Amino acid sequence: MDVKSRNYLLMNRQALEKDIKTSYIMDHMISDEVLTLQEEERVKQQNTQKERAAMLINIILTKDNNSYRSFYNALLHEGYRDLAALLQDGIPAISSGNGKSSMDGMTSYVKTVLCEGGVPQRPVVFVTRPKLVDAIKQKLCCLGSDPGWVTVYGMAGCGKTVLTAEALRDHQLLEDYFPGGVHWISVGKQDKAGLLIKLQNLCSRLEHDSTLSQRPPLNIEEAKDRLRLLMLRKYPRSLLILDDIWDSWVLKAFDNQCQVLITSRDRSVTDAVAGNKYEVHVESGLAHEKGLEILSLFVNMKISELPEQANCLVRECKGSPLVISLIGALLRDFPSRWEYYLKQLQNKQFKRIRKSSSYDYEALDEAMSISVEQLNDNYKDYYKDLSVLPKDVKVPTKVLCILWDMETEEVEDILQEFVNKSLLFCDRNGKSFHYYLHDLQLDFLTEKNRNQLQELHKNIVNQYKKYYKLNTPVPSQEDCMYWYNFLAYHMAGANMQKELRDLMFSLDWIKAKTELVGPAHLIHEYVEYSSILDQKDSTVRENFQEFLSLNGHLLGRQPFPDIIQLGLCQPETSEVYQQAKLYAQRETGTFYLEWLNKKSLKNLYRLVVRPHKDAVYHACFSKDRQRIASCGADKTLQVFKAESGERLLEISAHDDEILCCTFSADGEFVATCSADKKVKIWNSRTGQCKCVYEEHSEQVNCCQFNNRSGQYLLATCSNDTFIKLWDLNKKYCRNTMMGHENSVNHCRFSPNDEYVASCSTDGTVKLWEARSGNELKSIEIKDFFKNADEQPDDVEVLVKCCSWSRNGDMILVVAKNKLLLFDVKTCGLLSQVIISHHSTIQYCDFCPGDELVAVALSHCSVELWNIKSLSKVAYCRGHMSWVHCVTFSPDGSLFLTSSDDQTIRIWETKKVCKSSDAVLKSELDVVFHNGEVMILAIYNQKHLQLINGNTDSVIMQTAAPESPISCCCLSEDLKFAAFGQESGTIKVLQLLDGKVLKSQEAYRTSVQHCRFTSDCQTLISSAHDSVIQVWNWQLSECVFLRGHKEAIKDFRLLENSKLLSWSFDGTVKVWNITTGNTEKDFACHGGAVLSCAVSPDGSKFSSTSADKTAKIWSFESSSVLHELKSHEACVRCCTFSPNNKLLATGDDKGEIRIWDTLTGTLLHFCSPVTVDEGEPTHGGWVTDLSFSPDSKMLVSSGGYLKWWNVTTGESLQTFYTNGTNLKSIHVSPNFKV
């Protein structure tokens, strides 16, 4: 580093150490490649802000001039203008040949050389692009002292001229490599006469101090000769810059063994000349932040002060420096026209975006069209065909081979001509080429050929049909992805209604496309092209859109589900069902299932998406309801379209689980917080990280933006007991709120942003003033949970969540299983309701209409409550595991839920509220009788219903008893039913009229199981204790089976008045139910016995346990025959095959094993292919198993039903149900139902 620069750092060190925050400064320096990640880590290890600043300055002092410049620029960017001013006079004047350019500090030598050489001055508004400037310098240095050419090429308006001129503002470069000076000539599009004038002017300029005045050269050859002599004798080692070269013949006039830099749109322009050649490609787009910076400089405002239209304008400018500069210059003159110019860009009115003084063309369209006009007529037609290419898509050569019916080599030759002239861009992908247009070029082409677009689209569809006939592309073909993504787009553009309907209403197309790209794009197409698809009738499109919306989370996973089987589960009136049935009838040898009672089941959700590979902890809507952000255990932030689930962003955002995410009020940013103790702010459209906050010392549980646009305030809370308030515009923690004594779980701004509410594990909710950070009020929630004899300190209450009413007068608080509503002014309890006795509330949210509240429960469901009437409005099932979050859209019309099952479900509030909140418990009994399926089910825990499964009609419903019903059973002759209650009472009733015949207060705890004996005279039951009761209800006699030491898991009737029971104590017992005596006692497992099965011949039984083993036992010898050990999780269920030869076992990992009962050998390991690591292969636990009568097929239940080929162990079919996990299977004797 220069001594002068070093001294300025040392002189101002104290002021710098006192004020700067290093994290943002270092981000800039790392991006400038002057600071390493290791050096950043050294700075971060320092304890205080001042020590971190001191360490950074020490590191800079060991580096070169580039570090000083980078540090200076970083101070400017981060708002430390006063500190930057202290360092300004110390900026090094000379930059090395491959160093960063300096915007200031040009020496008088450089100014003189550039002025004499005619190099354009910097534009009034100039933004650095150091990497490109350095690339040009590097290529100039490569010329050395040898003659040669450096070509700076790129499309119109990308900044070639400005960047070239900037590269020359380098003292060292000029002194070491071009001491003879530089000579700039703006060439442009010229004929021979025009070129001669340019050459005459140049010669005249170079001869200006000659003693002898020569006449101008009379022709190009003479001018070339004179120029060669001048460069050789008078200006050796000088650089000639030819700006804006269009034709290669022009260069021949300058091909005289000197060093030349040219700017051009045509990369191949130097092909006609000799010498060393180097290229610099100028990218077509500026970064979004750079675009905003240009606008801000033109209108003399800070970036943070720019109006909302600024972001949209930069996006519409597609990153073009020319367009942004044109717009900026116009806005400088007409500062109120932001909206007007935005509309002109959006409407492609390029002619109205008029000339700026520094550019050669009258309007933007002229700048682009002049390049196209240089093509010969054949090539113009080919270029016109590109008008219908989709934006931002790289098109494989094969697509254009099909379009033009040509060989690959011919097509590549045509396209290379466009690439050379910067009319097209090329990406090499392995051996193949992919081509794409810049957005502005495509906009220009579309506008120019607007009247021919339909025919152009039609042509590409017809060429596709001609090439593929009735086939579809296969994944091995390079053009495959293009057609699956854009064939519908071309058909819609051609208004080919019949072809589009045939394509998008085809299960073959849906299957092929979703296997490749998932369902979201198809759903988007149904929405996008609905006006064409619905010209006859919207029903069919709605059928297919709903089918994909509700099954997309299944179609996006491996192994790919059978789409015909999914289609058969649709309503019978649906076109999807009718098509699937035709396919199923044509398929031979494939096993399909018909859902008999599907009419009774209504899908209440609008869309199901599976964006994550692990639990989803949080999801939220953007304010415009168009986008959803989600985060979870896979450490990623996802942003997707609320309409279709189409992914917009996927960011590996943190080093640990992400616990919460939130949109800013204007939707520009998304904040995330994580168990890695960090809070990060992301641009919600580009995915760029704006800033990282690292002031929390423990995991950060929640982050929430304020509600009003314009001011970016973020509240975060953490296990470190603090709530912090951040101002994004100032990039520091504005307030730290201290007062909680334990982890803070949740925080939310009040609707007017004046207050912040926080919930803590210390049992309190606190209200804080947002402006000052002062605590206003504290509510002791644990007071509402303590019993009369308990002190508040003895009660542990984890307050999970809170939500404000729309007017901010009330606040809703969630703890354990209670909802509590408080008056904000008085802190008085307005109302409370116990939601559930069996699960805890995970999250809550007030609907913007104030009456409805949604609560997420740990037992996989969501409930909607009317907070005024304290009544449950709706019960929403569908998730397969804990629901972590429920959030309403800003208008309350939708709400979303996220779960451990990796899915996010979007629900329509009105549709859900209109549905019944009824739910059938999974404890039910089934009897197959004369071809009918009779089901006894518990309805809303209050009633028994007898349902005909074939017709789905309710035959009988009982009146509500005084205590909730916990279990039920049917007699085999369908004359009687029995049920147990949570109070411990058992009742027997007559099915004919629902009349209770007998009742017994059998237990003090909830009854778990009850079953009739075959003669229907005796009822056997068990509860949450170790005793089984055998009750002859007709004689009112009772026998107690006592012997187990822990609660009974379940029991099973054997022949000859025997009973098999198993318990959490690890034992299995055989009882005589007449005498109540134990006949056999088996100490089976070290853990709880979870299930038992008896072989059909009655000689043996199997037991499975939480100890991850299964065992086969002999009744006769009371000994274990085989111990089956290969399971890796709790073995939950087992069953013998009807031929006695096989035993199937299922575990909590979703895996099934089939064993030989004679030898104990493992025959088959049944598990679907799993792609996502850690994903349960059966959608959860395997809960039940059943063999077919011929022992050739096995059905299993868990998250869904699966049928298996017992001979091969392969999956035959999967049946997905619309609810939560399945508990048990009841199979008809013929295995058909």
**Each residue of 902-939: pLDDT tens digit?**
889 999 888 888 765 456 677 788 888 888 899 888 88
Asked whether 701 and 660 are in contact (CB, 8 A), the reply is yes
Cis, bond preceding 559 (omega within 30 deg of 0): yes
What local confidence, expressed as pLDDT, does residue 342 receive? Answer: 82
- Strands of the 259-264 sheet, one edge to the other: 182-188, 239-245, 259-264, 148-153, 276-281
Alpha-carbon distance of 599 to 349, in angstroms, equals: 54
Alpha-carbon distance of 104 to 608, in angstroms, equals: 56
**Beta carbons within 10 angstroms of residue 1054's beta carbon:** 16
Write out the two tokens for 934: 């009779």
**Beta carbons within 10 angstroms of residue 535's beta carbon:** 11
Annotate 738-760 with b (16+ C-beta within 10 A) or e (fewer): ebbeebbbbbbbbbebebbbbbb
According to DSSP, residue 217 is labeled P
Query: Interior CA angle at 500 toward 499 and 502, to 5°?
Result: 65
Mapping DSSP onto H, E and C, the string for 309-368 reads HHHHHHHHCCCCHHHHHHHHHHHHHCCCCHHHHHHHHHCCCHHHCECCCCCCCCEHHHHH
**For residue 585, what are the contacts with CB-CB under 8 A and spacing of at least 6?**
none
What local confidence, expressed as pLDDT, does residue 356 receive? Answer: 42
Asked whether 1108 and 1145 are in contact (CB, 8 A), the reply is no
What local confidence, expressed as pLDDT, does residue 601 receive? Answer: 63
Write out the two tokens for 766: 């606190």
Write out the two tokens for 1167: 């598990």
What local confidence, expressed as pLDDT, does residue 430 receive? Answer: 60
What element of type H or E holds 167?
helix 160-167
Owner of token pair 């096993």? 591
Write out the two tokens for 277: 């050649």
Alpha-carbon distance of 1181 to 1183, in angstroms, equals: 6
Asked whether 611 and 595 are in contact (CB, 8 A), the reply is no
What local confidence, expressed as pLDDT, does residue 684 receive? Answer: 92
What local confidence, expressed as pLDDT, does residue 299 receive? Answer: 81
**Beta carbons within 10 angstroms of residue 69's beta carbon:** 25
What local confidence, expressed as pLDDT, does residue 105 receive? Answer: 41
At 824, phi and psi to the nearest 5? -65, -40
What local confidence, expressed as pLDDT, does residue 1145 receive? Answer: 94
CA dist 22 to 26, 693, 694, Å?
6, 12, 12
What local confidence, expressed as pLDDT, does residue 729 receive? Answer: 79
Task: State the pairing for strand pair 259-264/148-153.
Answer: parallel
Mark the ranges of the chain whose per-residue pLDDT is less than 70: 31-32, 93-106, 123-125, 208-213, 284, 319, 322, 326, 329, 348-368, 370-371, 429-431, 556-558, 599-602, 786-795, 837, 850, 915-920, 1168-1179, 1218-1220
Write out the two tokens for 548: 């994909």
At 88, phi and psi to the nearest 5? -60, -45
Helix ranges (H only) for 556-652 are 563-568, 575-586
Write out the two tokens for 552: 């997309």
Q: Report, in this order, helix, strand and coil percent for the chain, each rounded to 5.
A: 30, 30, 40
- Identify residue 856 by its one-letter amino acid code: A
What element of type H or E holds 979?
strand 976-981
Asked whether 638 and 630 are in contact (CB, 8 A), the reply is yes
Task: State the pairing for strand pair 658-663/432-436.
Answer: unpaired
Alpha-carbon distance of 665 to 1164, in angstroms, equals: 55
Alpha-carbon distance of 863 to 227, in angstroms, equals: 86
Owner of token pair 């007699």? 971
Task: State the pairing for strand pair 1067-1072/976-981.
Answer: unpaired
Asked whether 338 and 331 are in contact (CB, 8 A), the reply is yes
Alpha-carbon distance of 979 to 960, in angstroms, equals: 12
Query: Interior CA angle at 442 toward 438 and 445, to 5°?
Result: 140
β-pair partners for 954 = 947
What's the CA dihedral at 628, 632, 634, 637 to 10 degrees? 30
Write out the two tokens for 1042: 């006592």
What's the CA dihedral at 1070, 1073, 1076, 1080 to 10 degrees? -10
Cα radius of gyration (the chain): 38
What local confidence, expressed as pLDDT, does residue 346 receive? Answer: 72
Alpha-carbon distance of 1024 to 147, in angstroms, equals: 95
What local confidence, expressed as pLDDT, does residue 676 receive? Answer: 95
Asked whether 1117 and 1150 are in contact (CB, 8 A), the reply is no
Write out the two tokens for 1134: 């087992």
Predicted model pTM: 0.71
Largest Cα–Cα separation, the chain: 139
Asked whether 1057 and 1073 are in contact (CB, 8 A), the reply is yes
Alpha-carbon distance of 921 to 982, in angstroms, equals: 13
According to DSSP, residue 920 is labeled B
Owner of token pair 């300058």? 254
At 691, phi and psi to the nearest 5? -160, 160
β-pair partners for 749 = 756
Alpha-carbon distance of 825 to 809, in angstroms, equals: 7
Asked whether 950 and 944 are in contact (CB, 8 A), the reply is no
Alpha-carbon distance of 365 to 363, in angstroms, equals: 6
CA dist 65 to 94, 165, 926, Å?
9, 21, 84
